Structure 1
Amino acid sequence: MASLTPLSGNLDLRKAKHLLRRATFNYTKNQLDVFTSMSATEAVDTLTIDAPYALQEPYDPLPEGSPDGFWTSATTLPRDFEGQTRKRALVAGWWWYNAINQVSLKHKLSFFLHTCFTVSKDGGSGAATYFYDYLRLLDFYALGNIKTLAKKITLDSSMLYYLDNHRNNKYNPNENYAREYLELFTILRGEQIGPGNYTNYTEEDIQEAAKVFSGFKIEENRSIIDPDTGIPMGYVNFEQHNSDNKTFSNAFNNQTIIGRETTTEIFEELDDFVEMVFAQQETAKAYCRKLYRYFVKSKWDDEVEADIITPLADLLIANDFEIVPVVRTLLSSQHFYDADDSIATDETIGSIIKSPLQLVSEICSLFNASIPNSSNNPLEYYHIFFKRFIHDNYFVTSGMDLFSPFDVAGYHAYFQEPDFDRYWFSSNTIIGRYSLIESLIQGVNTISSGEISATIDTVLFVRNNITGAQDPNVLVSEMANLLYPEAIDADRVNYFKQFLVEDGFPDYYWTGIWNRYLNDNDNFTVKTRIDALVTAMINAAEFQLM
């Protein structure tokens, strides 16, 4: 029986790996050692402790000689800066730097919220500074309240631009935002039961919602600051707001929202609408299904729907849509660790294909990649490493334009049946995924060309993290225990061992090589072999899963 009962006892290595991969973008041997001494509940509570940004704001190192620098805090209008596409990539680099340098559930949930309230940074979301404000808003509510975010996001400049709601007024209604708000961001459609009529809302509800959302505008100079978040927000043009009463369908119990006229009252009208949408149990279930797909697995049966999704939705409602109690319950549960039954065919551990974001974050954090310091070497970090290599090459060729999904529904992995996360791995994305480790080991962009200003020292990694590395069997087994969700069998150990010990040679051949390296610190021979081993193990099927 699927169970949300908390897992008993402390996490072992297998379960600690599972939690760290699913809950953070920072995955290291040191953190595994820490979490294996905790209970599941203690571990999740540790991950939900908020911390200040490791990097406060993005920096543009270009143009060289006269960089735009910290342009997001400049007094210049955001749209007046040149290089907006570049700057949006640099904002993504700022976000990623924080994500891989902090062991926190905050960043995983922030990206989850991006999949719920999607904008495409390069698809019509305005200036880069507005995108920066959008990410800060997601971060602010990542450990907070989904319902409150669902109100605040309406006044976010990137969202206003992206779905044209800044053009929505009582004289010329624009239903784009209202439609996506119901269909994708909150309650979802449900089954279609007639022309223009879905289980959870109707076309008329979209028209009424568009009236609620009318008159919201962008404050281009970002001078209006939300007192709750400290983040710039838009404003209400009350003259363009439809002040008529809005009556909704039977899906919302034929509720009428009283039209308002003043700025303060129009915000109250928005609150009334959001409260109405979130009063429906299907809204809570929609978020809990998304959370399950994001953290556990992409498909589930009626038992999971009844015993996991529905109780989580009830918990979400009981906590007035605070996200942490629900995620804490899920990530601490027997079900999350697949400890609630003995069925081997429904494993959750190792059941999700890693996104390109998870893949690069895990490799860089685990192997302690020498990523340039963003403060001391902003040109090397932001432009050469992140934008030119990670953003423009790796992400694109691995099938994930970071923060620029193909459409407002988001990334196919999180919503598109029947493949879901299998979209991440295909003949079209394999080059980017497989070239990543080669590029980081060699320090050059093997996807296209050029330096990347970052490397991985595989020999130092083995020396610092693998006990008994002189034994090739131990080395391979311990590496597999760090890299893979599950331990590997003897056949796989022997397969990977051939990268250390040539066919026909005894194991002590590698022992001699390793001991000579320890004695004279000349890593030439061991580096060739360990580089080959790490490349093979990273690009193996087992590492693509989490």
Structure 2
Amino acid sequence: MVIAEKRMHDPGNNSKPVPAINAGIKRFKGKWTPAMAQHLAKRTLFGASPDDIRFFAGMSLQKSVHQLLNANEAMPEPPLHYLNDERFTDPDVPLGSTWVNQLTYTGMNNSRRENSFRAWWVGLMINQERSLREKMVLFWHNHFVTEMRSLGNALYGYRYNSLLRTHALGNFKVLVAAITRDTAMLRYLNGQSNTKKAPDENYGRELQELFTIGKGPGSHYTEDDVKAAARVLTGYAIDTKTLTSNFIGNRHDDTDKQFSAFYNSTVIKGRKGNDGILELNDMLDMIFAQEEVSRFICRKLYRFFVYHVIDTITEQNVIEPLAKTFRKNDYDIKPVLQQLFESKHFYDAGNRGGMIKSPVDFTLGLCREFKVAFPPPQDYVNQYGLQQQLYQQASNLQQTLGDPPNVAGWPAYYQAPQYDKLWVNSDTLPKRSQFSDRMMLFGFNTKDKTKILVDPVAFAKQTSDPGNPDVLINESVHLLYMVELPQKDKDYIKTNILLSGLQGMASDHYWTQAWQTMLTKPADAANLKNVTGKLKNLYKYLMNLPQYQLM
């Protein structure tokens, strides 16, 4: 299966090209259409249900972006101990209670808590409000990577995730400072082992290479800068009683730290004792004085939300203006995202349907698009159990929430030249089809047979006239795809799927009659089975086409 590219100026593109994208970052002032609303929703949420599309289409572009950036969301309730099994008890945490305040743990109950955390996180994505926050939590998780499997305690992972959620749409510089002191990061990149007697360069290197300056054309920090940064960061530790981070003055290197000409030969004055903690602010001031920080982060945001190729035109017309806005607003993230999502460039036809869905977008987006019904919060055992299964499905497709493959994140977000094409290969593409087929035909269920399953009749009712096969097919395609489906493919679907086996086959009347009979005589089991079966085949077929892999 070949998934077509959208851009003419993408190297290696052999598909029919569209005009090169020259639109800049100026605000879009044209007509706000449902297709544009759908594009915005699919890029900023995990999947877009028909209700989401109608919601954003019913307001202006500016109000839509304002909603995404300023939704009044409370912080979510913490994850629960949910495994109702004698073999998997958590003696310190009653069933149905949260474990995030419990400091004691063992290898066994920690594994259960990790599962609880992952299921909880999946639930937040599925039940997200019309807000950018959850998508930004994933963005920052891929940027400031930690791996649950190396932390040793689920509590570190939960606190790290909560930190990302708290600062997801806040100030980037404040977030960098908070991440530097975070217990998960201190464990993951050896910050707790970094002392004046044995400086550890791990975090000092990644702070510059992956978190702030990057490896772009304007990044010229040196190995000596890495060593100097490591010395600035000495003294941080984890209190084993409270499992929180602290600063131990006598472990801190209080000598002066000399940086290279890239940082204007800055000298960070050594501070003694607990005052050594103030050197972090001095170093961040020095780093954030470099314009390359703003460019690096804007490029990452662009590749996450728009497209993987950043050519000369895009660098000049989009990245540079966004970076200027970032600096002008003292590294607050909202003004940058607002400018991007309100721009002509973002809505250029060549940028729509040009990204391959990540595994999380594919699996959880399917659930949200089809409004799959999950157990209510009071049935947390089954709710968490099903969400854990979805986590595993995304993991099978090579995106394990909580555990990116390395400190650089998932390669699909940074590995040139393939980028998002890495999500689809000979192993993962059949698994994607297997997942969508199962959600349509059988679903997933827990031990007591509680099930999640697509309701094809309910989705068909989201179209304006589901009894008309042409309307049903056209509008279903537009709801599920960001690219057009050729008419010959729609004709095939109508004749060989929707009307297959019906008398006359090519006559729309027979589908219309079957649909109306279902509405007026719901007790007619044979007709209901016939209609439901054909709708299942219709949506199963649509989700197996290449177009469904794109957003």
Which residue of structure 1 lines up, in the alignment, with residue 258 of structure 2? 247
Which residue of structure 2 lines up, in the alignment, with residue 469 of structure 1? 466
Which segment drifts farther, 98-107 or 320-329? 98-107
Which segment drifts farther, 61-70 or 144-153? 61-70
1:449–1:377 Cα change, 3 Å: closer
Q: What is the CA distance between 1:244 and its match in structure 2?
A: 1.0
Q: Secondary structure at the match of 1:218?
A: strand
Q: 2:61 aligns with which of 3, 18, 40?
A: 40
Contact preservation (8 Å) 2:24, 2:343: yes
Is 2:363 aligned against 1:360? yes
Q: What is the CA distance between 1:43 and its match in structure 2?
A: 0.8
Which residue of structure 2 lines up, in the alignment, with residue 378 of structure 1? 380
Which segment drifts farther, 522-531 or 486-495? 486-495
Is 2:149 aligned against 1:126? no
The 2-side partners of 1:459 and 1:186 are apart by: 49
Gaps of 5+ in 1: 192-197, 224-232, 340-346
Which segment drifts farther, 132-141 or 490-499? 490-499
Q: How does 1:423-442 map to 2 (within 5 A)?
A: 423-442=422-441
Deviations 1:440-497 (A, max 9, x none): 2334459x9996731221112212x012111111111010110011333311211222
The 2-side partners of 1:508 and 1:219 are apart by: 73
The 2-side partners of 1:259 and 1:121 are apart by: 34
Q: Secondary structure at the match of 2:490?
A: helix
1:488–1:444 Cα change, 3 Å: closer
Q: How does 1:312-461 map to 2 (within 5 A)?
A: 312-338=322-348, 347-373=350-376, 375-382=377-384, 384-387=385-388, 389-392=389-392, 394-445=393-444, 453-461=451-459
Contact preservation (8 Å) 2:372, 2:455: yes
Which residue of structure 1 lines up, in the alignment, with residue 81 of structure 2? 60
Alignment-mate amino acid for residue 348 of structure 1: N
Contact preservation (8 Å) 2:71, 2:130: no
Q: How does 1:115-514 map to 2 (within 5 A)?
A: 115-122=142-149, 124-190=150-216, 199-222=219-242, 233-263=244-274, 265-338=275-348, 347-373=350-376, 375-382=377-384, 384-387=385-388, 389-392=389-392, 394-445=393-444, 453-463=451-461, 465-497=462-494, 498-502=496-500, 505=505, 506-514=507-515
Q: What is the CA distance between 1:85 and its match in structure 2?
A: 3.1
Across the aligned residues of Structure 1 and Structure 2, the Cα RMSD in angstroms comes to 2.2
Contact preservation (8 Å) 1:50, 1:104: yes
Contact preservation (8 Å) 2:44, 2:135: yes
The 1-side partners of 2:364 and 2:41 are apart by: 12
Deviations 1:270-299 (A, max 9, x none): 011111111101111000000110111000
| Percentage of matched positions with identical amino acids | 31
Which residue of structure 1 lines up, in the alignment, with residue 9 of structure 2? none
Alignment-mate amino acid for residue 204 of structure 1: D
1:309–1:53 Cα change, 3 Å: same
Which segment drifts farther, 160-169 or 514-523? 514-523
Contact preservation (8 Å) 1:11, 1:35: no
Which residue of structure 2 lines up, in the alignment, with residue 520 of structure 1? 521
Query: What number of residue pairs does the alignment pair up?
Result: 515
1:400–1:259 Cα change, 3 Å: same
Q: Secondary structure at the match of 1:235?
A: strand
Q: Secondary structure at the match of 1:234?
A: strand
Contact preservation (8 Å) 1:395, 1:401: yes
Which residue of structure 2 lines up, in the alignment, with residue 342 of structure 1? none
The 1-side partners of 2:448 and 2:378 are apart by: 21
Q: Secondary structure at the match of 2:417?
A: coil
Contact preservation (8 Å) 1:356, 1:424: yes
Which residue of structure 1 lines up, in the alignment, with residue 135 of structure 2? 108
Contact preservation (8 Å) 2:123, 2:387: no
Deviations 1:370-425 (A, max 9, x none): 2222x31222121x3122x2123x12221211221111110011110110001111
Q: What is the CA distance between 1:190 and its match in structure 2?
A: 3.5
Contact preservation (8 Å) 2:444, 2:452: no
Alignment-mate amino acid for residue 253 of structure 1: N
The 2-side partners of 1:126 and 1:181 are apart by: 23
TM-score scaled by length of structure 1: 0.90
Gaps of 5+ in 2: 1-21
Is 2:123 aligned against 1:85? no
Q: What is the CA distance between 1:9 and its match in structure 2?
A: 4.1
Contact preservation (8 Å) 1:12, 1:36: yes
